[in-house]
């Protein structure tokens, strides 16, 4: 071989090796997770009511991919977080609801696997899994649900209190960790907000953000639940009956300083006094509560959007954006007055669907839209594949990488299994499970006092107002969905009966008084 050929060969490897190394460099991952964020409260989703503008979240959609059929397997805060960490359904990760048990931190989790692969890992904000975080180099979390103003926090086992507004604090702590990180290593940052969780206390600077404009009401605000069963009729999550004085800001939130309370009262008290004098009743009261609810809920979303903007700016300023996957999602959807409700829990659309925006420069085409059925179960597999790591066989979610690159696999899921366990519990939503497709939902409600099926045709009835279960013209569809539901339960290893650890703890019998007859 001639010297010139050797020289060219050496030059090739000198240039090609760094390029190959750059091509396989592990991406950073920023996972921004809010609590109870309705997809209709992100302007990129194009809600007909045009409730709010979210420019920073919209930027993620414009520069990445927006998902319209992202679903959660169990629409409640703690269990959804457990699904994100493990990539597994509740019956396998062991965390079923917010009222019983604690997350087993010794089990395999996505942060542990990334940490073992050389990632620095941190979680800041809402945790809500009872046990302390594991698999993280750094963690600072809110105890329980946390509060909006001057929240107590737990930093690596140290109890402390932070001054300020919780969304700002979580953002500040997240950015501080990014500044202190080892810049020679890739990182996973899980920035997890309390907002917009109940009781929806806005940042003081955002009080009156809407200029007292009236928000358009949903068509189903006064839904009477005809066409559905006992579970829908007997829930306890309505603006009419369940909305409290604290929800309505007739009382201030906990933890405020005197200076904060002065600003708060200057905004709310004149409006509250008008409300008290009006003595509203029945539907007039619901109209008023809806407007107050939307002002407050969306006011907290404004701070989340601002937080996203701050994180994106940091990535830009530090030259990190091109090699960082940014994911924005929520632990579930939420009701913004549809069917007269707030909260979540149901298999129905507003609860089941969660917002999902992913930006991955160089991999995902800007402005991409996906209507594939995806889930928060898929995050673990996605992050592991992006990091060049094997996906353990017991993870139930699938990597979104091919979808993000514009190539949906031929065998991608066409149906999705859902299972809600928290009953008895807050809001009295009965236990139920079901199967969801692009058009249909088959649902089984089951508790000692309730046992019935419902079937919804989303094409004919997008607001899910009328069950067609048992109707002759849906008999073939019904049979197919029953078979598909059973297939999914078998494939996902769902126990035939709810496991004992998911069941309510029996109340001890009342002690009888001595000599009682």
Question: What pLDDT digit, counting tens, does each position of 127-181 carry?
Answer: 999 999 999 999 999 999 999 999 999 999 999 999 999 999 999 999 999 999 9
Query: Could you give the CA distance from residue 376 to residue 416 in angstroms, rounded to a whole number?
Result: 12
Residue 517 has pLDDT above 80, yes or no: no
- Is there a domain that residue 113 lies in? yes
Q: Are residues 113 and 190 in the same domain?
A: yes
Query: Tokens 């996505």 sit at which residue?
Result: 110
Do β-strands 432-436 and 416-420 pair in parallel, antiparallel, or remain unpaired?
antiparallel
Query: Tokens 């107050």 sit at which residue?
Result: 292
Q: Are residues 437 and 376 in the same domain?
A: no
Q: Are residues 334 and 468 in the same domain?
A: no
pLDDT at residue 507 in the model? 61
Do β-strands 356-359 and 324-330 pair in parallel, antiparallel, or remain unpaired?
antiparallel
Query: Could you give the CA distance from residue 209 to residue 62 in angstroms, rounded to a whole number?
Result: 25
pLDDT in tens, 72-125: 999 999 999 999 999 999 999 999 999 888 999 999 999 999 999 999 999 999
Residue 1 has pLDDT above 60, yes or no: no
Q: How confident is the model at residue 514 (pLDDT cuts 50, 70, 90)?
A: very low
C-beta of residue 83 within 8 angstroms of C-beta of residue 74: yes
Ramachandran class of 249: left when φ > 0, alpha when ψ lies in -120 to 50, beta otherwise: left
Strand order of the β-sheet with 356-359 is: 158-161, 152-155, 138-142, 120-126, 187-192, 28-34, 324-330, 356-359, 65-67, 368-370
**Dihedral sign of CA atoms 308, 328, 29, 155 in order:** positive
- Is there a domain that residue 459 lies in? yes
Q: Are residues 79 and 166 in the same domain?
A: yes
Instruction: Give the residue ranges of DSSP H helices in 97-239.
Output: 110-116, 166-180, 230-234
- Is there a domain that residue 280 lies in? no
Residue partners of 376: CB distance under 8 A and separation at least 6: 70, 72, 73, 80, 83, 84, 329, 331, 354, 397
Paired residues of 440 in beta bridges: 457
Domain closes at, from 413, 437, 463: 413
Q: How confident is the model at residue 193 (pLDDT cuts 50, 70, 90)?
A: very high
Helix, strand, coil % in the chain, rounded to nearest 5 = 35, 15, 45
Domain closes at, from 357, 378, 413: 413
Query: Could you give the CA distance from residue 201 to residue 248 in angstroms, rounded to a whole number?
Result: 10
pLDDT at residue 100 in the model? 85
Which secondary-structure segment (H or E) carries 22?
helix 3-23
- Is there a domain that residue 9 lies in? no
CATH number at residue 481: 3.30.1120.10
- Is there a domain that residue 390 lies in? yes
Q: Are residues 305 and 165 in the same domain?
A: yes
- Is there a domain that residue 224 lies in? no
Query: Could you give the CA distance from residue 115 to residue 26 in angstroms, rounded to a whole number?
Result: 12
- pLDDT (mean) for 17-39: 77
DSSP for 278-326 reads: HT--HHHHHHHHHHHHHHHHHHHHHHHHHHHHHHHHHHHHTT-GGGEEE
Domain closes at, from 365, 388, 413: 413
Q: Are residues 408 and 464 in the same domain?
A: no
pLDDT-above-70 percentage for the chain: 93
Q: Are residues 310 and 339 in the same domain?
A: yes
Containing structural domain, residue 490:
419-502
Which CB contacts under 8 angstroms, 24+ apart, belong to 505-510?
505/100
Q: Are residues 155 and 47 in the same domain?
A: yes
- Is there a domain that residue 270 lies in? no
pLDDT-above-90 percentage for the chain: 91
DSSP for 314-354 reads: HHHHTT-GGGEEEEEEESS---SSGGGB-S--SSSHHHHB-
- Is there a domain that residue 197 lies in? yes
Q: Are residues 424 and 406 in the same domain?
A: no
Q: How confident is the model at residue 24 (pLDDT cuts 50, 70, 90)?
A: low
Query: Could you give the CA distance from residue 32 to residue 309 in angstroms, rounded to a whole number?
Result: 11
pLDDT in tens, 317-349: 999 999 999 999 999 999 999 999 999 999 999
pLDDT in tens, 271-307: 999 999 999 999 999 999 999 999 999 999 999 999 9
Q: Are residues 407 and 432 in the same domain?
A: no
pTM for this predicted structure? 0.93
Q: Are residues 456 and 482 in the same domain?
A: yes
Q: Are residues 175 and 67 in the same domain?
A: yes
CATH number at residue 370: 3.40.720.10
Q: Is 5 exposed, middle or buried (0-12, 13-18, 19+ CB in 10 A)?
A: exposed
Task: Provide the number of structural domains found in the chain.
Answer: 2
Residue 6 has pLDDT above 50, yes or no: no
Residue length of the chain: 517
């Amino acid at each position: 071989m001639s010297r010139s050929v050797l020289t060219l060969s050496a030059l090739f490897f000198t240039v090609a090796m760094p390029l190959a190394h750059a091509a396989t460099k592990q991406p950073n991952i920023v996972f921004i997770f809010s609590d109870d964020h309705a997809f209709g409260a992100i302007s990129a989703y194009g809600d007909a009511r045009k409730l709010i503008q979210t420019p920073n979240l919209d930027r993620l959609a414009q520069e990445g991919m927006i998902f319209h059929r992202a679903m959660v397997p169990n629409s409640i805060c703690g269990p959804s977080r457990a699904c994100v960490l493990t990539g597994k359904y509740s019956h396998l990760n062991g965390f079923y609801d917010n009222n019983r048990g604690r997350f087993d931190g010794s089990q395999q989790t996505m942060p542990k696997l990334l940490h073992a692969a050389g990632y620095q890992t941190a979680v800041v904000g809402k945790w809500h899994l009872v046990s302390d975080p594991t698999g993280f180099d750094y963690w600072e979390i809110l105890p329980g649900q946390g509060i909006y103003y001057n929240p107590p926090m737990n930093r690596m086992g140290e109890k402390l209190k932070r001054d300020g507004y919780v969304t700002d604090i979580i953002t500040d702590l997240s950015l501080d960790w990014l500044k202190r990180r080892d810049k020679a290593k890739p990182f996973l940052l899980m920035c997890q907000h309390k907002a917009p969780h109940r009781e929806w206390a806005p940042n003081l600077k955002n009080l009156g953000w809407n200029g007292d404009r009236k928000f358009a009401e949903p068509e189903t605000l006064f839904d009477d639940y005809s066409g559905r069963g006992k579970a829908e009729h007997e829930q306890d999550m309505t603006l009419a009956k369940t909305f409290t004085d604290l929800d309505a800001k007739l009382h201030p939130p906990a933890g405020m300083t005197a200076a904060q309370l002065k600003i708060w009262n200057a905004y709310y008290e004149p409006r509250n006094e008008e409300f008290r004098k009006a003595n509203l009743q029945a539907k007039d009261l619901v109209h008023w509560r809806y407007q107050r609810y939307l002002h407050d809920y969306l006011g907290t979303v404004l701070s989340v959007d601002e937080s996203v903007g701050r994180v994106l700016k940091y990535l830009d300023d530090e030259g990190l954006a091109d090699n960082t996957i940014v994911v924005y999602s929520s632990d579930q959807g939420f009701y913004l007055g549809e069917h007269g409700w707030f909260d979540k829990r149901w298999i129905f659309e507003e609860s089941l669907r969660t917002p999902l925006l992913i930006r991955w420069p160089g991999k995902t085409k800007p402005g991409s839209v996906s209507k594939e059925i995806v889930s928060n179960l898929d995050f673990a597999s996605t992050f592991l594949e992006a990091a060049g790591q094997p996906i353990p066989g017991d993870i139930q979610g699938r990597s979104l990488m091919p979808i993000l690159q514009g190539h949906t696999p031929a065998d991608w899921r066409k149906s999705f299994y859902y299972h809600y366990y928290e009953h008895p519990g807050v809001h009295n939503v009965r236990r139920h499970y079901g199967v969801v497709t692009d058009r249909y939902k088959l649902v089984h409600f089951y508790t000692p006092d309730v046992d019935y099926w419902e079937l919804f045709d989303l094409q004919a009835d997008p607001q899910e107002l009328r069950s067609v279960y048992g109707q002759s013209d849906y008999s073939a569809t019904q049979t197919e969905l029953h078979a598909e539901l059973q297939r999914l339960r078998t494939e996902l290893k769902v126990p035939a009966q709810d496991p004992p650890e998911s069941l309510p703890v029996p109340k001890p019998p009342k002690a009888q008084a001595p000599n009682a007859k």
